[in-house]
Structure 1
Amino acid sequence: MPGMTQRGWLIAAGLLALLGAMLTLMGRPLTCPCGTVSLWHGVVQSNQNSQQISDWYSFSHIIHGFIFFGLSRWLLPRAPLWHALALAIGIEGVWEILENSPIIIERYREVTMAYGYLGDSVLNSVSDAAFMVLGFLAASRMRWWTTAGIAIAFELFTLFAIRDNLTLNVLMLVSPIEAVKAWQAAG
C-alpha cells in the first residue's frame, strides 16, 4: 500500500498487540466467556455481542478509520501515512481502554440500548481497532465523497438493521434522549 512502509506495518501491529496486552492486564476476557470464537455475531442483545471478531458495531469502527484519516490529512497534511495511522491506532486504543472501564460500561448500560453490556473481549477490542485500520487505509485510497457515501450507507444500514449506529451511540452516550432509547428498545 502506498505510504505504508514495513516499519509502519510493524508499528501498527505492535500498537494492536500493546492494546491487547493492556486490556488483558485490565482483566478483560481474551475471548467470549461463552467458549466459542466466531467471525461474526449478529445478535445485539446477547451475551456474545462485543465478544466476537465482528458484530454490528464493526461498521462504526470502519467509520472511525474514515474520520481519523480525514482528520489526519486536514491537521497533519505532511505527515507520512504510517505516522497518521499510528496516531489513529493510539486514539482508537485509548477509546477501547476507556470503553472497557467500569464507568463507561455502566454508562452504556444506563443510557444506551446495551442493557446487559459487560464490556468487550480482548479479541473484540483488538478486532475493533483492526476495523478502524481497515477504514483508515480504505479512506486513504478513495475520494472523500466515496468515503462519505460509504459512511452514510453504513450508518443507514445499521440504523435500519439494529436501530443503532455510530451517530446514535455517541448521542446516547453523551446526551441521552429517552424517546430514542424507547424507540431502540422497541426493535
Structure 2
Amino acid sequence: MKKLAVPFPLVALAIAAVTALILLLMGQPAICTCGRVDLWAPGASGPTTSQMLADWYSPSHVIHGFLFYGLMHLVWRRASVEKRFIAALSLEGLWEIVENSPWVLERYRSVTIEVGYFGDSVLNSMSDLLMMAIGFFLARKLPLWASITFIVAAEVIVAIAIRNNLFFSSLMLIAPQQSVLEWQAGGPFPLPF
C-alpha cells in the first residue's frame, strides 16, 4: 500500500484551513459575534449555540466520525487508516460548508424550530472537525457493540436534554414532520402511530 506523499497531519491541517477560509469567505464569523470564546454553550438554541468550542450538537459530530469510519471501512477497506481519515475529514469539512450555505441555513430556519439560526462560527466548525476526528479514532479502537452503544446513548441523552439530536435534525432538514416540530417546541414525544 502506497503511503501518502505528505504527512497526513499536514494534509488534515490543510483541509481544516481550507474549510475555515471558505467559511470566512461565505461570511461566517470567526468567533461568536458576542466577542467571547467559551468552552461550552449550554443552550439548545440561542445566540451562542454553534458559536463556541462545544455545545449540545458536538456529539452529533462525534457520531459523524463513527459513521464515516464505518463507511470508509466498507468502501475503502484496502486504503490505509490515514487515507480513510483524510477522506472522512474531507467529508466533514464539506458538510460544514454545506451546512452553513445560504440554502441550508434558510431551510433550517423555515422547517425547524431554529428560526433564528444563522450558522456556525468558524471556531465552532473547526471544533466540529475535531469532534469528527475523535469519533473516527474512537470507532477504530472500540468494538462494534461499543460504537453502537455510544451512538445510541449520545442520541438519547441529547434528545432528552434539548429535544433534538442528529437523527431529528437530519429528519427535519430532509423531510420535516409537524409532530416533531411540536415536540421540539415542548409538546408530547412524536409517536409513529
- Partner amino acid for 1:65? G
Question: What is the rounded CA distance, in whole Å, between the counterparts of 1:97 and 1:186 in structure 2?
Answer: 31
Q: Secondary structure at the match of 1:140?
A: helix
The residue that corresponds to 1:171 in the other structure is 171
CA shift at 1:138, angstroms?
Answer: 0.9
Question: What is the rounded CA distance, in whole Å, between the counterparts of 1:145 and 1:127 in structure 2?
Answer: 26
- Partner amino acid for 1:31? I
The residue that corresponds to 1:118 in the other structure is 118
- Partner amino acid for 2:10? L
Is 2:191 the counterpart of 1:185? no
The residue that corresponds to 2:191 in the other structure is none
Query: TM-score, structure 1 length as denominator?
Result: 0.95
After alignment, is 58-67 or 138-147 more displaced? 138-147
Q: Highest relative contact order (Cα 8 Å, sep 6+), 1 or 2?
A: 1
Q: Determine which structure has more spread, i.e. the larger CA radius of gyration.
A: 2
The residue that corresponds to 2:74 in the other structure is 74
When the two chains are superposed, the root-mean-square deviation of aligned CA atoms in Å is: 1.7
CA shift at 1:137, angstroms?
Answer: 0.9
The residue that corresponds to 2:48 in the other structure is 48
CA shift at 1:113, angstroms?
Answer: 2.1
The residue that corresponds to 2:89 in the other structure is 89
The residue that corresponds to 1:130 in the other structure is 130
Q: What is the number of equivalent residue pairs in this alignment? A: 185
Query: TM-score, structure 2 length as denominator?
Result: 0.92
Q: Gaps spanning 5+ residues in structure 2: where?
A: 188-193
Q: Secondary structure at the match of 2:28?
A: coil
CA shift at 1:45, angstroms?
Answer: 2.1
Question: What is the rounded CA distance, in whole Å, between the counterparts of 1:136 and 1:61 in structure 2?
Answer: 10
Question: What is the rounded CA distance, in whole Å, between the counterparts of 1:32 and 1:20 in structure 2?
Answer: 14
Q: Secondary structure at the match of 2:142?
A: coil
Question: What is the rounded CA distance, in whole Å, between the counterparts of 1:66 and 1:147 in structure 2?
Answer: 7
Q: Gaps spanning 5+ residues in structure 1: where?
A: none
